[in-house]
Chain A
Amino acid sequence: QKEVEQDPGPLSVPEGAIVSLNCTYSNSAFQYFMWYRQYSRKGPELLMYTYSSGNKEDGRFTAQVDKSSKYISLFIRDSQPSDSATYLCAMKGRGANAGKSTFGDGTTLTVKP
């Protein structure tokens, strides 16, 4: 079983919809949680970074972490066609494990005009 499981999708929504992307994890040593957006044939782009349970908001994006349930989410409000991409969750530990991130396999999102 993978340490990080991500809802596989694909996900297709109309423009303006609220999108929910989710990951679960099994390693309680994970302390830092990231969401990346990746357009086709491009490198990932860091969207959100959190290190504690709770919500973090940045514009139309909200990252939510529930360490007790080992569950993280990314919400996109008022979704736009330009949000169409693959979204990757990632997480890492501290100390000796601070270098390596473990990624989910990604969820492909299509926002239709």
Chain B
Amino acid sequence: GAGVSQSPSNKVTEKGKDVELRCDPISGHTALYWYRQSLGQGLEFLIYFQGNSAPDKSGLPSDRFSAERTGGSVSTLTIQRTQQEDSAVYLCASSLAQDRNTEAFFGQGTRLTVV
């Protein structure tokens, strides 16, 4: 596909369970970003990857949240022991490293509901 792909598109999980969210960036894009968006709110930064390394993970809310990126491509965001306040839309974006230094292309997001 030509765009940023995220899966699953929707996820309902029970409180206390672990979840994994996946992001497939546009081929060749070395910069990858994770954000989350609560209802009616702007985007909250989580983590930024340049290649496989994460120079800025300052937005991860707690040690229950982790992310990795392998092969300079696919990224996985893992939330352990989910809580109801984790319910939000998780958005991934990618861009070329030298492309305007910004989140150029967003995926459709994963809507996470913790019950």
Contact = CB atoms under 8 A, between A and B. Distances in A.
B56 A88 contact: no
A98 B59 contact: no
Chain A interface residue count: which class?
20 to 34
A88 B107 CA distance: 16
Contact of A101 (B41, B45, B50, B109): B45
A70 B59 CA distance: 24
Closest 7 CB pairs of A and B: A99-B48, A43-B106, A103-B42, A99-B56, A103-B43, A105-B42, A100-B45
Given A32-B100, A94-B101, 17 more contacts: A44-B43, A44-B106, A45-B106, A46-B103, A46-B105, A49-B100, A90-B43, A92-B102, A96-B55, A97-B56, A99-B33, A100-B59, A101-B43, A101-B103, A103-B42, A103-B44, A105-B41
